[in-house]
A and B are shown apart, each in its own frame.
Chain A
Amino acid sequence: MKPEDVHKSGPILSMNSVEVLYNSVMLAIKGVSIEVPHGGMVALLGSNGAGKSTTLKAISGLLTAERGKVSRGEIRFDGNVIGDSLPQERVELGICHVIEGRRVFEHLTPDENLEAAAPMSLSRGRVASEKARIYDYFPRLGERKTSLAGYLSGGEQQMLAIGRALMTQPRLLMLDEPSLGLAPFLVAEIFEIIKRINRDHGLSVLLVEQNALAALDIVSHGYLIENGRVVMHDTAERLKANSDIQEFYLGGGQARSFHDIKHYRRRKRWLS
């Protein structure tokens, strides 16, 4: 089930059999291998606790904040092993992780949120033009740029979190469940903008979602991760057509019954 397209210049991100340990004992992902091609959009799907966020944290280096550690495997960005460099060094390389749950700086204005993320090496003028570019993508933010970010709506906060990440001038943007708790029309709006940025600037995107339906509409490939392992990898088209995925993931991320999940897990073991 390999995607058929050939990566011309090698992938921008490749993860090879990566294992992550939390607190030196809890094995959260067990040999995950994924690739994101240059300028590509890839989804990482899976249910609660599958290891999606852990995978992103391994890439961004935020694992250290939670006493987690890559215990095996390697992660390459642009062909170079990133090893155990600091999160800020990875941001400088061009990796930016929009963490789960929005996490805007609530006591700062949206304008200040964006400014906080601008690399110190950018001139004042560049910071202003970059902010203008973000407000161009997210006009709603521009209208509220001087109120405290904590008072923005959920959708506006998600836009701000994405805009803030874009201020770091990333080449790989990783989004952790941007659709969480948002109305479908907002999800569509935000995904449309992500798609546009990907098209305009060739920004590579790794999108973590439980909302598989929405995600598979904008990405070219997807990985399905379950219990810390990749259990399926295919083009978005084929994943959408896959009966397992349809049955269990295309519901749009609502809570599924325990029975369904167990049923699914049983099948998964059988499949993989």
Chain B
Amino acid sequence: MDIAYLSELAVNGALTGLLYSLFALGLVLIYKSSSVPNLAQGALTMLAAYVVLALSRQLGFPLWLAIAATTIIMFFAGLGVEKVALRRMAGRPIVMILMMTLGLDIFIRGSTLAVWGGTSRSMELGISYDPLFLGPILLSRINLAGAGVAIALFVAFLLFFRTRHGIRLRAISDDYIASWSIGISVEHGVALSWGMASVVAVASGVIWGEIQGVDQSLSQLLLKGLTVAVLGGLDSIAGAILAGIFLGVVENVGSSYLDSIVGGGSRDLIVAAVLIFTVMLRPHGLFGRHDIERV
């Protein structure tokens, strides 16, 4: 295999990886505030894509307006889910909260299937599929555009966490009882993180919907997203970015080697291996917080 082909695989893998990171960003936001991986994040992503399509196809909104409106709708839907389903779970064992998010996932998948059926729809963002060459390297335009959106969102959130509201959210993720003791509304903080994760779901739903079509399989992004979030340490945005790029590159390069040996299907094996080895060898991920211990 020559170096040009290898770098093409790596660059495209990195771009796809940034889109995994984008998905994982939603998981990280909720994990930071409530220490639970949101198993409904894939379903939320799919729901966002369906809402965009419903607004643009069924109600005839221009696409940009449909996306903007969906962002607002999903933000409030996120707040609502937290208030209705999660808030009453405060103080319960984490595994019960996890099961609640699983219940939400099943509920959203079931409802979207009932409303919009199982056929795949296309997003039709209007991005051209003509090849784009960077020197000898062939790039996908949609992946490039998606990676741009992902990076813009990462920067926005990194800046947000330096504002006063953002600092309060980080305080909640450090110690919610201490947060209460100084008058931080932990409930509102957690709700805000659900709202923000739902907004991230819109971005990732639109981009992934364009890439692979809008259907039930969109919700299965959860598995790769979780792998990336775990590898990145679950509570670190920077970790999610680097872990996504890492997974994308390893998956793309690795599968092109392995597929010729095992005859296809090695992508999932590589993702599984990354997840399993992370949990075994680095349970805090690459960038997760250890509890600070002073000597």
Contacts and interface: CB of A to CB of B under 8 A. Distances in A.
A116 B181 contact: no
Contacts of A65: 91, 176-177, 180
A86 B90 CA distance: 15
Given A106-B292, A108-B170, A168 B91 contact: no
* Contact count band on B: 20 to 34
A117 B174 contact: no
B106 interface: no
Contact of A115 (B164, B176, B185): B164
Interface in A192-247: none
Contacts of B184: 88, 116-117
A266 interface: no
Contact of B171 (A96, A105, A165): A105
Contacts of B178: 99, 103-105
Interface in A105-150: 105-108, 112-113, 115-120, 127, 148, 150
Contact of A60 (B91, B175, B181, B185): B181
B182 A116 contact: yes
A165 B182 contact: yes
* Contact count band on A: 35 or more
Interface string B148-174: 000000000000000011011011011
Contact of A92 (B176, B183, B289): B183
B258 to A, nearest CB: 39
B88 interface: no
With a 10 A CB-CB cut-off, give which of A92, A112, A116, A153 has the most chain B CB atoms.
Answer: A116
Given A99-B178, A168-B182, A108 B164 contact: no
Contacts of B179: 116
Contact of A91 (B170, B175, B182): B182
Interface string B120-151: 00000000000000000000000000000000
Interface of B: 91, 164-165, 167-168, 170-171, 173-185, 289, 291-292, 294
25 contacts: A60-B181, A62-B177, A62-B181, A65-B177, A67-B91, A86-B185, A88-B185, A92-B183, A96-B181, A96-B182, A96-B183, A103-B177, A105-B175, A105-B178, A106-B174, A106-B175, A106-B291, A107-B173, A107-B292, A108-B167, A108-B171, A116-B182, A119-B183, A168-B182, A168-B183
Interface of A: 60-62, 65, 67, 86-88, 91-92, 96-99, 103-108, 112-113, 115-120, 127, 148, 150-151, 153, 164-165, 167-168
Given A106-B292, A115-B164, A117-B184, 16 more contacts: A61-B180, A86-B185, A88-B180, A96-B182, A103-B177, A104-B178, A105-B170, A105-B178, A107-B292, A113-B171, A116-B167, A117-B182, A127-B164, A148-B292, A150-B292, A164-B182
